[in-house]
Amino acid sequence: MADEKKVGAYICSGCGIGDRLNMKQLEMTATRDGKAKVCKTHDFLCSKAGVQMIQDDIDNDGVNQLAIAACSRRAKVEAFNFSDVSQTRINLREGVIWARPEGDEHTETTQEMADDYVRMGCHEVKAMTVPTGSDEQPLVKSVLVVGGGITGLTAAVESFKTGYSVTLVEKSGALGGMAGDLYKRVPTRAPYAEPEETGVAELIEAVNAADGISVHLNTTVTKTAGAPGRFEIDLSTESGSTETTTVGAIVQASGMKAYDANQLPEFAYGKNADVVTNVELEALAKAANGGSMKRPSDGKEIKSVTFIQCAGQRSEKEGHLSYCSGFCCNTSIKQAMYFKESNPNADTTILFTDLRTPGAGGEDFYRSGQKKGILFSKGEVSEVVPSAEGLEVKFNDLILGEETSMQADLVVLATGQVPNSGPDPYAAVPTKEEKEAAEASNTVEISVESILNLDYRQGTDLPHLSNGFTDSHFICFPYETRRTGIYSAGPVRRPMDTLQAQDDAMGAALKAIQSAENAGQGRAAHPRSGDLSYPLFRKEGCTQCKRCTVECPFGAINEDERGFPQFNESRCRRCGTCMGACPVRVISFDNYSVDTVGNQIKNVDIPDEFDEKPRILVLACENDAYPALDMGAKNGYHYSQWARVIPVRCLGSVNTVWLTDALSEGYDGVVLMGCQKGDDYQCHFVKGSEMATMRMSKIADTLQQLNLEEERVSTYEVAITDIQRAPQLINDMADTIEKIGMSPFKF
Amino acid sequence: MSELNIAMVEKYRNSFLHEVEANVEEGDWVKMCMQCGVCSGSCPLGSHWEHSPQKLFMMIRAGKREEVLSSDSMWMCTSCYNCVVRCPREVPITHIMHGLASYAKRLGLVPKGQQTAKFAQHFWDNLVKKGRVNELKLGLNLYFMNGFAEGVKTSLKMKDIGLGMLKTKRMSPMEIFGGHKVKDLDGFQAMVKKAQEIETARIEKNMNA
Amino acid sequence: MATKEYSFYPGCSSQKGASSSNYLISVNSMCEELDIKLNHIPDWNCCSASIGYASGGELPRMALSARNIALSEEHNPGQEIVATCAACWLATRETSERLSENSDLMAETNEALAMAGLKLKNETPIKHMVEVLIEDFGYDAIGAKVKKPLEGIKIAGYVGCQTNRPFGIEGESFENPKYLDKLVETLGAEPIDNYDKKVQCCGGALAFSEPEKSQAMIKDIIEAAYDGGAEMIVTPCPVCQMNVEVYQDQINAKYGTKFNMPVTYYSTLMSVAYGRSAKDSALDGQIIRATRLEEIAAK
């Protein structure tokens, strides 16, 4: 690569750009203001000839910094793909000519927009260097699977099949987990009519037969250090011996715990032996092994059984689970079939409020149950009490609208799944009062045992989303957690049945392998998959304030003994939240930094107050808000001619210095567009937009110091579908400025 | 209460559902209802049903025998088949309603004065007599099915319609003197009788089984 | 095109002096124009319609339709059965399907049929006349015979229940079947878009036993046709035709409406469009005169 930086500006006049804009003027701006050494216009830049023109300049003319002024950076990605050079895209199509209406009265302001963007792009690329990739870790083709249930067994087998070696850790003395204790499982293939074998025995056999899978029973993970490509795992046995192993990535398949039915005294659980949970019924069925099922209390053959759905679930009552566990309706149908198997005349009734039979065959299985004579009644059970014949189940018939009851030899409670996930690193620390109250009432919670014992700055285990399930970006990246290289699968991630758990295991195994491969090549994992940049850190300027280590949504950054950040490059997702957090601006990426954005802000022409041409800085998340503006423009939703939009990796990467610079240079308003935050977040980096909002809540002080109105800065949550709303938000800011007047900071 | 009904109560004391499955046309399908209620929302006379089909199915499962069989509800069925084509479970609801009505009639449980039940009886008698329906006789029978005074009133009310039909030759006074019929009336009536006997025998066999 | 032959099941209401005798007259004219030969099933009997169930029960009802099919198979072998009445078609086809699915019921039915000296093979397709028109001829062939297009007449296609459900016409939806509209268009008239009572029940047989409930529905059916700008309603079903036409005075008296909407059969429209006389088209069978059609027929 040439030592000297040489900017080449390439301007496309195709797609109507040349009709709407003065190309000569843009060329002049690029060379005179943008200091481009080379500037060329082409009427079809993304064509083979256009791309070749650029490549020739790279090869023959030493151009190494490309400012390509054409369509949005989201278009023509394959065409404009040059290696070993820095590159930015100047959005003249979606960002200028489509964002503005045609007509003579708009020509001047549209041209000003384009000129600004050309200037901004040339100066942005000048602040970039070509990233080379992280070399902190080698390619390590091995996966640690934590948990030996059906999820873990499947993940192990699937990983092994790709040529990876697997370390499989199981806390108990045997493989199989809860699925191994099932008599049979809900059918997984057509015609979805009968319960089928679980397949766990075959999986165990496959695991034991594979020489690349080492099984560690009675073993726990007592320490997980490092990063993808260089995880150091301490495995400790019950006897106390510990060995350390190195793996490339981790699948956490720690599964579920059965719900504690002692919370359900109204259903006589614990008081009457003939009330059992769906987990306990499997043991009865295993004991019967196809023969007649016997009542626990007296061994009498069970002739009538009632299933109570949603037992302790989908309820806000104290001690109940608020969510639906998803597997219990199909499970009750399956278990009712156990009774029909040995005695087709057995009375089997399922009392439900909403029957939910998810999965491809769920509906067929329900139908099969009905055909076998399983009775389904829509009713809400209030109480189970002993009766002369056995048990009386009292319920409100929701179709007939009456209180009624039925007799049963056995009652089965369809209880839910509780994730086995380890302590949440971000759980609210109880206040002193709460602690004292808990001690006084003698309900001190048993501390949850850690599963991974991460040696991380931010806690020992995977962060939770809600109800103890590990956080995963369930829409876009379901297997992802908030710890890069560690993938959760199975009911620790969300409630699910065995088939879903196996699908989950396959997905997580492949993600783990992908992560190890990316780490080996020094590239980012999703969502900036393939990005070679990583956070660079100027130690001499660091004040050890720890904001970066605390705010990183992925717990990527540790601290050394002196409190300086340790970045763990392969744990990083390249969102830039650390860069946004840093008050002394010592964190940057080769191709994205305080300067790349700062240069753009500084190179917008700010007309003086009397021109009545305000400027609005829009910082838009590249994942949702920026595409929304592009698509809005394409669909004819225009926005203010005063706006200058700069895409950011995540709103979390926005450093407040950009705002103070912009405001003190005379911008009249700032609009920040990030993703939805909260429990149902849409942020690709989980916490980025939340962090940004928190920081922006403090910008009021800055505004006050500058004697500026608070309305000049707005932060919004924008979804990729907001193609009408996003432009409108910019227009709202233009209206606000018209109301409150121009900024006094114009020089 | 008919003798047959008493016998059926004994036989199916604990499971009305099984009785319906055995004796009611398409009764096998009752257990397949998944209680979504689409049938109830699709019925053109839905608001006039004391118990919607969805409820009737639930009542059958809950063993509410008398309530179901003496219900007015299934007599409200116009045979429009809207429920049948919309039922996500493809339950032949119309036929089950017909079957329940017919079974209730067989057991003598139809509510007194049920107009559709009366009409249905007249229609059946009319068709069995000649093999083809004699609309004029059927019409007159209908007007007078609730007694003479009521019949005169109805006839007067319907007089204009009758005149319109007469004028357009869509009703013939000659029909009263015989009218259309099948030629092989003996064979026809023997066939219907045989079919009735087989069906009755089947149900009585269920009772004694 | 060669003559097409079908085994024809006319049904009770089509008989001379019965409520849809006008339907049969126009069907005959229509068939002559299309070169369709209808071979009546000899000695056919009533299908028991959709009201015979209560006293008839299942098996006797099956036997009724089975007798007709058996007679057709014996006397008109190899010919598809065609019915013009919705209830006749439905009962016959339903019987045929149920018996083909249930061998016990089939055996019992044949046991009863034996009393009339008949045996059912149950191998004959059972069609509604509309199916014959659409599937065996098609809109183009139907349109090719038009001599007097029904220009300028706005017609609401009232499909009703039993030609639409549960079997319906192949390729049509239950909720918004379009075939009558397409037919109306083919004949040069103007169909009504968004006729939202197109498949509403008219009460069927309950028009007799539950007149008030039924007439409330019939009122909606006519009102929606007016709302759509229709001058006339067309239907493929004798019960629909009768219920919607003959109670208009009573409805007017009860609801204060001023309905005077002619209700015709598709065969009436076709017969007129094919240039047949008012008599051949049975326009004299309209209790509410279809004056627009009379004008065209007189031209």
Residues C183-240 have pLDDT tens digits of: 999 999 999 988 999 999 999 999 989 999 999 999 999 999 999 999 999 999 999 9
Residues C177 and C79 in one domain: no
Q: Phi and psi (nearest 5°) for C44?
A: -60, 155
Beta-carbon neighbour count of residue C209 at 10 Å? 23
Shortest Cα distance from B12 to chain A (angstroms)? 14
Q: Chain C residues with CB inside 8 Å of B175's CB?
A: 17
In a domain, C252, yes or no: yes
pLDDT (tens digit, 9 = 90+) per residue, A11-33?
A: 999 999 999 999 999 999 999 99
pLDDT of C1 above 70: no
| Cα-based distances in Å from B147 to A593, A639, B126, B150, B174 | 97, 80, 18, 6, 24
Each residue's pLDDT tens digit, C122-174: 999 999 999 999 999 999 999 999 999 999 999 999 999 999 999 999 999 99
CB atoms within 10 A of CB A595: 16
**Structural domain containing residue C275:** 142-298
What percent of chain A clears pLDDT 90, i.e. is strictly above it? Answer: 90
The region of weakest confidence among A542-546, A597-601, B142-146, B199-203 is B142-146
Q: Does B36 touch chain A (CB under 8 A)?
A: no
Report the alpha-carbon distance of residue C228 to residue C192 in Å, rounded.
6
Partners of A464 in beta bridges = A470
Chain B residues touching C217 at Cβ < 8 A: 44
What residues contact B137, with CB distance under 8 A and at least 6 apart? B126, B175, B176, B179
Which pair of tokens denotes residue A252?
């956490």
Asked if A375's CB is within 8 angstroms of B17's CB, the reply is yes
Residues B14 and B79 in one domain: yes
Give phi and psi for A239, each to the nearest 5. Answer: -70, -10
B200 within a domain of the structure (yes/no)? no
Report residue A553 as tokens: 């949504």
Look at residue B64 and tell me whether its pLDDT is greater than 60: yes
- HEC string for chain C: CCCEEEEEECCHHHCCCCCCHHHHHHHHHHHHHHCEEEEECCCCCCCCCCCCHHHHCHHHHHHHHHHHHHHHHHHCCCCCEEECCHHHHHHHHHHHHHHHHCHHHHHHHHHHHHHHCCCCCCCCCEEEHHHHHHHHHCHHHHHHCCCCCCCCCEEEECCCCCCCCCCCCCCCCCCCCCHHHHHHHHCCCEECCCCCCCCCCCCCCHHHHCHHHHHHHHHHHHHHHHHCCCCEEEECCHHHHHHHHHCHHHHHHHHCCCCCCCEEEHHHHHHHHCCCCCCCCCHHHCCCCCHHHHHHHHC
Provide CATH code, domain A536-587: 3.30.70.20
- Which pLDDT score is estimated for B1? 54
C197 Cβ under 8 Å from any chain B Cβ? no
Q: How far is CA C241 from CA C112, C221, C249, C250, in A?
A: 34, 12, 15, 16
B61 closest CB neighbour out of A355, A367, A377: A377
Interchain CB contact of A344 with B (< 8 Å)? no
> Which of A187-196, A470-479, C232-241 is the least confident region?
A470-479
Let me know whether B69 and B135 are in one domain: no
Q: Are C31 and C249 in contact (CB under 8 A)?
A: no
The residue-averaged pLDDT of A154-169 equals 98
Same domain? C118 vs C166: no
Q: Which of C56, C116, C210 sits opposite B188 (nearest CB)?
A: C116
Output the average pLDDT for chain A: 94
User: B209 or A605: whose pLDDT is higher?
Assistant: A605
**How high does pLDDT run on average in chain B?**
89
Q: Is residue C249 part of a domain?
A: yes
Is the minimum CB–CB distance between B62 and chain A shorter than 8 Å? yes
Same domain, B50 and B89: yes
| CATH class of the domain defined by A1-130 | alpha beta
pLDDT attached to residue B177:
67
Q: Token digits for A373?
A: 């004579």
Subunit contact B34:A399, Cβ cutoff 8 A: no
Give the distance from residue B20's alpha carbon to the nearest chain C alpha carbon, in angstroms: 14
User: Is C114 inside any structural domain?
Assistant: yes
- The CATH number that applies at residue C215 is 3.40.50.11810
Closest CB to C59 among B169, B182, B199: B199
Q: Which long-range contacts (CB under 8 A, 24 or more apart) does A48-53 make?
A: A50/A10, A50/A12, A51/A79, A51/A80, A53/A10
- Which among A126, A127, A129 has a CA at the least distance from the CA of A30? A126
Residue C136 in domain: no
Flag whether residue A404 sits within 8 Å of chain B, measured between CB atoms: yes
DSSP reduced 3-state for B157: helix
Domain end (from B80, B112, B144): B112
Do both C162 and C231 map to the same domain?
Answer: yes
Alpha carbons B104 and B99: distance in angstroms, whole number: 8
* Domain covering A259-416, topology: FAD/NAD(P)-binding domain (3.50.50)
Q: Residue A216: beta bridge partners?
A: A169
Residues B98 and B152 in one domain: no
Asked if residue C274 and residue C162 are part of one domain, the reply reads yes
Mean pLDDT, to the nearest integer, of C106-134?
A: 97
Choosing from C102, C129, C156, the residue where a domain stops is: C129
Report percent pLDDT > 70 for chain C: 100
Question: Alpha carbon of A673 to those of A73, A679, A722: distances in Å?
Answer: 18, 19, 11
- Phi, psi values for residue B47, rounded to 5°: -70, -15
Beta bridge partners of A619: A646, A672
Contacts of residue A250, Cβ cutoff 8 Å, sequence gap at least 6: A143, A144, A145, A146, A224, A231, A233, A452, A485, A486, A487, A512
C14: nearest Cα among B162, B180, B189: B180
Is A346 strand, coil or helix? coil
* Mean pLDDT of the region A112-118: 98
Mean pLDDT taken over chain C: 96
B108 and B42 within one domain = yes
Architecture of domain A142-255+420-520: 3-Layer(bba) Sandwich (3.50)
Q: Which of B126, B157, B127 is nearest to B141 (CA)?
A: B126
Examine residue B203 and state whether it is found in any structural domain, yes or no: no
Residue C125: CATH number of its domain:
1.20.1050.140
Closest-CA residue to A123 (of A618, A602, A660, A658): A602
Q: B164 to chain C nearest CA, in Å?
A: 6
Which of A47-61, B10-24, B87-101, B150-164 has the lowest average pLDDT? B150-164
Q: Euclidean distance between the first and final Cα of chain C, in Å?
A: 28
User: Which residue, among A730, A720, A597, A611, has the nearest Cα to A108 in the 3D structure?
Assistant: A611
Task: Name subunits touching C (3+ CB pairs < 8 A).
Answer: B
Q: By residue range, what is the domain housing residue B7?
A: 3-112
- Does a structural domain hold residue B202? no
Q: Are residues C207 and C116 in the same domain?
A: no
- Residue-level pLDDT at A441: 61
Residues B100-108 have a mean pLDDT of 96
For residue C27, CA distances in Å to A106, C31, C38, C248 come to 69, 6, 10, 25
Residue B169: per-residue pLDDT: 85
Q: Which of C59, C64, C99, C96 is nearest to C80 (CA)?
A: C96
Per-residue pLDDT band at C284 (split at 50, 70, 90): very high
Q: Strand pairing partners for A142?
A: A165
Rounded-to-integer distance, Cα C216 and Cα C213, Å: 5
- CA distances (Å), origin C197, targets A176, B81, B85, C258: 60, 15, 17, 19
Same-domain check for residues B14 and B108: yes
Predicted pLDDT at C226: 96
- Listed by start position, the domains of chain A span 1-130, 142-255+420-520, 259-416, 536-587, 606-747
Whether A690 and A681 have beta carbons less than 8 Å apart is answered as yes
Q: Choosing among B15, B21, B35, which should be mutated to test the A contact, i.e. which has the most A CBs within 10 A?
A: B35
* Phi, psi angle pair for B151, to nearest 5°: -65, -40
A432 pLDDT higher than 60: yes
B7 and B104 part of one domain: yes
**CB neighbour burial string for A515-527, b if at least 16 within 10 angstroms, e if fewer:** bbbbbbebbbbbb
As a dihedral over the C-alpha atoms of residue A592, residue A597, residue A600, residue A604, rounded to 10 degrees, the angle is 170
Q: How large is the average pLDDT for residues A100-111?
A: 97
Rounded to a whole number of angstroms, the distance from the CA of A363 to the nearest CA of chain B is 10
Q: Does C298 touch chain B (CB under 8 A)?
A: no
Q: Structurally, how many domains does chain C consist of? A: 2
| Any A CB within 8 A of B61 CB | yes
Of the pLDDT bands very low, low, confident and very high (cuts 50, 70, 90), residue B208 is confident
Parallel, antiparallel, or unpaired: how do β-strands A219-225 and A38-42 relate? unpaired
Kindly state whether residues C191 and C245 are assigned to the same domain. yes
CA C7/CA C140 separation, integer angstroms? 24
Structure tokens at A122: 């040339």
- The reported pLDDT for the residue numbered A2 is 47
**CB contact at 8 A, B34 and B13:** no
Residue A442 has pLDDT above 60, yes or no: no
Q: Does C247 lie in the same domain as C124?
A: no
C16 near B CB under 8 A? yes
Cα–Cα distance, A508 to A516 (Å, whole number): 12
Report the b/e string of C64-92 with b at 16+ CB within 10 A. bbbbbbbbbbeebeebbbbbbbbbbbbbb
Q: Are residues B102 and B120 in the same domain?
A: no
Supply the pLDDT for residue A1.
45
Residues paired with C263 in a beta bridge: C233
B134-154: pLDDT as tens digits: 887 777 777 667 777 777 777
B102 within a domain of the structure (yes/no):
yes
- Is it the case that residue C280 has pLDDT exceeding 60? yes
* Probe site for chain A from B19, B32, B40, B56 (most A CB atoms < 10 A): B32
Please answer whether residues A86 and A596 qualify as being in contact, where contact means their C-beta atoms are separated by less than 8 angstroms: no
CA A364 remoteness from chain centre: 33
Report pLDDT digits (tens) over A42-52: 999 999 999 99
CA–CA distance, A13 with A45 (Å, rounded to integer) = 8
- Pair (B88, B161) in one structural domain: no
Are C179 and C268 in the same domain? Answer: yes
Residue B174 lies in a domain: yes
Is B23 inside any structural domain? yes
- pTM for the structure as a whole: 0.87
Residue C274 lies in a domain: yes
| Cα distances (Å, whole numbers) of residue A610 to A601, A661, A663 | 21, 21, 18
What CA–CA distance (Å, rounded) separates B199 from B205? 10
* Interface A:B, Cβ pairs < 8 A: 31
Q: Are residues B40 and B85 in the same domain?
A: yes
Residue carrying structure tokens 């997980």: A224
CATH architecture under which domain A606-747 falls: 3-Layer(aba) Sandwich (3.40)
B95 lies in the same domain as B138: no
Which CATH number fits the domain that encloses residue B40? 1.10.1060.10
Q: What is the DSSP letter of A29?
A: I
Residue B128 structure tokens: 């069995």
**End-of-domain residue from the set B97, B112, B127:** B112
* Count of domains forming chain B: 2
Q: What is the mean pLDDT of residues A327-348?
A: 96
Q: Give me the half-sphere count of Cα atoms (radius 13 Å) on the Cβ side of residue B201.
A: 7
> Are C169 and C74 found together in one domain?
no
For chain B, helix (H) and strand (E) counts, in that order, are: 11, 0
At A4, which amino acid appears? E
Q: Which residues of B touch C240 (CB under 8 A)?
A: none
Environment class of C111 (CB within 10 Å of its CB; exposed 0-12, middle 13-18, buried 19+): middle
* Whether residue B108 sits in one domain with residue B73: yes
Residue-level pLDDT at C30: 98
The two domains A259-416 and A536-587 share their CATH topology (first three levels equal): no
Domain ends where: B83, B112, B141? B112
Q: How far is B179 from chain A (nearest CA, A)?
A: 49
Q: Which residues in chain B touch residue A397, judged by CB atoms under 8 angstroms apart? A: 58, 62
